[in-house]
Amino acid sequence: MAFPVQLIPPVRHGDARGWFTETYNRETFRKLGINCEFVQDNHSLSAPAYTLRGLHFQIPPYAQDKLVRCIRGRIFDVAVDLRKGSPTYGRWVGAQLSAENGHQLFVPVGFAHGFLTLEPDCEVVYKCSSLYAPEHDGGIAWNDEDVAVSWPLPEGVPPELSSKDKQLPHLSAFNSPFDYDGHPLEPLDP
């Protein structure tokens, strides 16, 4: 059983040429409680700054664990607890991921995921534990007042959104198929 959401800083080995890091090792991740098998890798480019993608998830039987990292630019990455019965249902955590810091965010099944780019031309890669299944795709509104994510948008600057993300429902309209696993959402360690 994995912990709800984890921020995973890199171990970088550097010299005058640059650095090397291992971004995924099944045994290392199992020691962190991450026991899923990843079956799909995704890569996105968001050209304008303040592009917001999310808050997305897939429902069972195609629910997805995700391991997210930013390989170019900087993003604010967010996970929202959707597990019914959880004492932290509807709460969120977020962290800045960047090419510079190399941090990764593990977002397990039962959480919505989204990110906001903080500069132009951000590239994000993430691993998924289930294949994309459009008929099981879901989401909640990025600006749902009940969730109240503190997106770091400059005052008066609206995010760039897809037509899909503009129409996502609020959390109150969502009947969660995700069950609480006994691990409440906890603040992320920097």
Which residues carry out catalysis?
A: 56, 126
Q: Which one-letter DSSP state was computed for residue 51?
A: B
Start-to-end CA span in the chain (Å): 22
Can you give the three-state secondary structure of 123-180, one letter per residue? EEEEEECCCCCHHHEEECCCCCCCCCCCCCCCCCCCCECCHHHHCCCCHHHCCCCCEC
